[in-house]
Structure 1
Amino acid sequence: MEAGIVGLPNVGKSTLFNALTLSKAAQSENYPFCTIEPNEGIVSVPDQRLDRITKYIVPQKLIPATLKLVDIAGIVKGASEGEGLGNKFLSHIREVDAILQVVRCFEDPDVTHVAGSVDPLADIDTIETELMLADLQSLENALGKAQRTARSGDKEAKLRVTVIEKCSEHLNEGKPLRLLNLNEAESAAISSFGLLTAKPILFVANVDETDLDGKNPLVDKVRQHADKVGADVACVCAKLEAEIAELDEEDREEMLTDVGLAEPALNQIARAAYHTLGLQSYFTAGEKEVRAWPVPIGATAPQAAGVIHSDFERGFIRAEVYSLADLEEHGGEKEIRQAGKLRVEGKSYVMQDGDICHFLFNV
């Protein structure tokens, strides 16, 4: 699963990306278009449950779940019509599963704001408008072909025409597609279009070092907007996090203590992005490795097995499942089994967040 980091130029996107991935993406500073190609990186999703499991099952390796992040160059007003670097970057967003929009929530006379003043709601509106205009263009381009195919009596094409018109009407009312309720068949009819405003979104408020909890009025405005659109908000001082990320473990802990943080704010962003993507984790645990596996909320046991390998899903027989609470109560798998707490689940079992599993399969 991928998440794309978007925002206006000079809001701290690349600084945040660098800190999250410990990479060295080109930072824009006062040069809005220096990130020419989208930078990509892999970020771990911190999960304390992994450490709790390893107290009882000691592995050779500990592997957290990961997410792929894409840092996309700053979008400006008019991008959908080719302004700035235009549709080139909108096309990069089409490939991601969720959007992380960084909004600047601090004043700094030394860092130029592309719009001339700091207004996170105006920034959000600018980017949302460009994404909606791009979606309208995509739908308009697809409508003619769908209508021609529908005239032949093709049922799928007829449905596609109906959904395209429904989405276009919604967008013309100034509403992103993530706020439009579509049933499974309707969503499938337009799934290949890569519509930008249909993707879930997480707002990342980039705050000043003196406001790490995000208590200033600018962040409040972002939270109020997020509540209206059903999105989450994560606060981060990208500049501080970039400094923390460069330190070794001992110095990092000392700096976190000095600034009053229990953990890097980046950890919260990774978990929030995971939630925005609609993911949860299940675990496999053995002597070789203890590992977290990302799986969509609502996935069945065979689908979860397929995350490990497609053969596991194809030849799924059953899953043996227990919980972390069971492990902490009984101290080991053998004891869990003896206590009758090891559950045997079939193909219809819906995975629960934190399940610890063994899959049995035959191909």
Structure 2
Amino acid sequence: MKLGIVGLPNVGKSTLFNAITNAGAGAANYPFCTIEPNVGVVAVPDVRLDKLAEMYHPKKYTPATIEFVDIAGLVKGASKGEGLGNKFLSHIREVDAIIHVVRSFDSGDIIHVDGSVDPARDIETIDTELILSDIEICERRLEKAKKAMKGGDKATASEAAFVERLIAHLSEGNNARGFEVENDDEAALLADIHLLSAKPVIYAANLSEDDLLGGIEANAYYPRVQEIAKAEGAGCMPICAKIEEDVAGLAPDEKKEFLAELGLEASGLDNLIRESYSLLGLISFLTAGEPEVRAWTIKKGTRAPQAAGKIHSDFERGFIRAEIVAFDDLMACGSLTAAKEKGLVRSEGKEYVMKDGDVTLFRFNV
């Protein structure tokens, strides 16, 4: 999974990226500090994997990972090449979802590119640039479809009509996430156009330390971000880039203790990962043994053979069955042998839909 962190300059985007990836991207107090997108790979925290490691003492421990891409701040006119322009719109095109960092606190020490803090305006600025870029893409797609129609390809008439409808929707300032498709063919066509404003979004409202630790209700900006997210069906969460920066270099035990002292149950990164999995409809199944314990990320609704294919294509091609025990059952029994004796290890076939936390052994023959 690849998540792109976007936002206007100086909203805390690169500070947040540095904190959650420890990648050391620049975070100076001026626009365009990030000239090339910085990339950091983060392990997905999963206590289930830790428990399996205690049980199996594996030679290898492999958590699921998320790739974060820090994309330089966008400004008005980016779709027309302003600021650093289309270069960064192309970087957004490569990610699975967008983490839109929205500044939601006042500070005289940090310059805002538009001179004042206004989350609704900032969100609209970014949305507008993505939508304008999408309109250009759709217009090119429509021109291509119309040329094909003139050449006698009548099958493209429905595509042209669909794209015209989509352009009208975008031209009213609506993002592609809110565009209603009428059937599976239209859904496939929309996905094939790869629009920026169709990507799932999580709004990360960057709050001050005081607000996050006890005064979110008093923050005038966060409710507006929540309102916008709810209207769009987007994710939304409060975060404090400064606190994330403070805990970034701590050992796991120290980090847990520090967060507890602040009255926080989890770090912003943990919450962000949870929100990302939820937004994208992702779950994890687990494999365990002495050679390796590992978490594998799949879409909800994935059937056993396709899950096996995440490990190796041969597993899917030669799939026979999946031997599965629920993680909680395995922990309660204390060993796989005990779980088998109690009849808790199931043999599942090709139609089985994988569940989050399934501890799985695939049987296959190629």
In 1, the alpha carbon distance for the partners of 2:308 and 2:104 equals 42
- Indicate if the aligned counterparts of 1:159 and 1:189 stay in contact, CA closer than 8 A: no
**Secondary structure, counterpart of 1:102 in structure 2:** strand
Counterpart in 2 of 1:312?
315
Could you tell me which of 275, 298, 301 is aligned with 2:301? 298
In 2, the alpha carbon distance for the partners of 1:40 and 1:53 equals 29
Following superposition, the deviation at residue 328 of structure 1 comes to 2.4
Q: Does 1:362 align with 2:354?
A: no
Counterpart in 2 of 1:122?
121
Following superposition, the deviation at residue 293 of structure 1 comes to 0.6
Q: Does 1:163 align with 2:166?
A: no
- Indicate if the aligned counterparts of 1:43 and 1:270 stay in contact, CA closer than 8 A: no
Residue 67 of structure 1 aligns with an amino acid whose one-letter code is I
Counterpart in 1 of 2:74?
75
- Indicate if the aligned counterparts of 1:57 and 1:332 stay in contact, CA closer than 8 A: no
Counterpart in 1 of 2:184?
184
Following superposition, the deviation at residue 55 of structure 1 comes to 4.5
Counterpart in 2 of 1:227?
230
- Kindly tell me: are residues 94 and 10 of structure 1, through their superposed partners in 2, closer, same or farther at Cα, counting changes over 3 Å? same
Counterpart in 1 of 2:19?
19
With 90-99 and 182-191 compared, the bigger mean Cα shift is at 182-191
Following superposition, the deviation at residue 10 of structure 1 comes to 0.2
In 2, the alpha carbon distance for the partners of 1:345 and 1:187 equals 31
Could you tell me which of 234, 259, 264 is aligned with 2:262? 259
Cα deviation code 1:147-176 (max 9, x no counterpart): 222445546633432331222122123221
Following superposition, the deviation at residue 258 of structure 1 comes to 3.0
In 1, the alpha carbon distance for the partners of 2:226 and 2:251 equals 33
**Secondary structure, counterpart of 1:158 in structure 2:** helix
In 2, the alpha carbon distance for the partners of 1:166 and 1:289 equals 51
In 1, the alpha carbon distance for the partners of 2:119 and 2:258 equals 29
In 1, the alpha carbon distance for the partners of 2:155 and 2:326 equals 43
Following superposition, the deviation at residue 360 of structure 1 comes to 1.3
- Indicate if the aligned counterparts of 1:95 and 1:194 stay in contact, CA closer than 8 A: no
- Indicate if the aligned counterparts of 1:97 and 1:199 stay in contact, CA closer than 8 A: yes
Counterpart in 2 of 1:94?
93
Residue 137 of structure 1 aligns with an amino acid whose one-letter code is E
**Secondary structure, counterpart of 1:211 in structure 2:** helix
Following superposition, the deviation at residue 189 of structure 1 comes to 2.2
- Kindly tell me: are residues 156 and 49 of structure 1, through their superposed partners in 2, closer, same or farther at Cα, counting changes over 3 Å? farther
Counterpart in 2 of 1:278?
281
Cα deviation code 1:308-340 (max 9, x no counterpart): 112212222211111012112322212222222
Counterpart in 1 of 2:35?
36
Residue 22 of structure 1 aligns with an amino acid whose one-letter code is N
Counterpart in 2 of 1:46?
45
In 2, the alpha carbon distance for the partners of 1:71 and 1:321 equals 38
Query: What TM-score, normalized to structure 1?
Result: 0.94
- Kindly tell me: are residues 95 and 124 of structure 1, through their superposed partners in 2, closer, same or farther at Cα, counting changes over 3 Å? same
- Kindly tell me: are residues 327 and 27 of structure 1, through their superposed partners in 2, closer, same or farther at Cα, counting changes over 3 Å? same
With 204-213 and 135-144 compared, the bigger mean Cα shift is at 204-213
Counterpart in 1 of 2:243?
240
Query: What TM-score, normalized to structure 2?
Result: 0.93
- Kindly tell me: are residues 153 and 227 of structure 1, through their superposed partners in 2, closer, same or farther at Cα, counting changes over 3 Å? same
Moved over 4 A (4+): 151-156
Unaligned runs of 5+ in 2: none
Residue 280 of structure 1 aligns with an amino acid whose one-letter code is I
Counterpart in 2 of 1:205?
205
Following superposition, the deviation at residue 261 of structure 1 comes to 2.0
Unaligned runs of 5+ in 1: none
In 2, the alpha carbon distance for the partners of 1:133 and 1:117 equals 24
- Indicate if the aligned counterparts of 1:209 and 1:240 stay in contact, CA closer than 8 A: yes
Counterpart in 1 of 2:290?
287
- Kindly tell me: are residues 53 and 27 of structure 1, through their superposed partners in 2, closer, same or farther at Cα, counting changes over 3 Å? same
Cα deviation code 1:44-76 (max 9, x no counterpart): 221222233344443233322111111100011
- Indicate if the aligned counterparts of 1:25 and 1:39 stay in contact, CA closer than 8 A: yes
**Secondary structure, counterpart of 1:185 in structure 2:** helix
Residue 353 of structure 1 aligns with an amino acid whose one-letter code is D
**Secondary structure, counterpart of 1:212 in structure 2:** helix
**Secondary structure, counterpart of 2:221 in structure 1:** helix
Residue 145 of structure 1 aligns with an amino acid whose one-letter code is K
In 2, the alpha carbon distance for the partners of 1:110 and 1:102 equals 19
Cα deviation code 1:242-279 (max 9, x no counterpart): 12102334543443233222332211112212222221
With 144-153 and 228-237 compared, the bigger mean Cα shift is at 144-153
Could you tell me which of 338, 356, 361 is aligned with 1:335? 338
- Indicate if the aligned counterparts of 1:98 and 1:200 stay in contact, CA closer than 8 A: yes
- Indicate if the aligned counterparts of 1:28 and 1:35 stay in contact, CA closer than 8 A: no
In 1, the alpha carbon distance for the partners of 2:198 and 2:155 equals 20
Following superposition, the deviation at residue 181 of structure 1 comes to 3.0
Following superposition, the deviation at residue 107 of structure 1 comes to 0.7
In 2, the alpha carbon distance for the partners of 1:266 and 1:211 equals 18
Query: Matched residues, percent identical?
Result: 51
Cα deviation code 1:284-303 (max 9, x no counterpart): 11112221110011111111
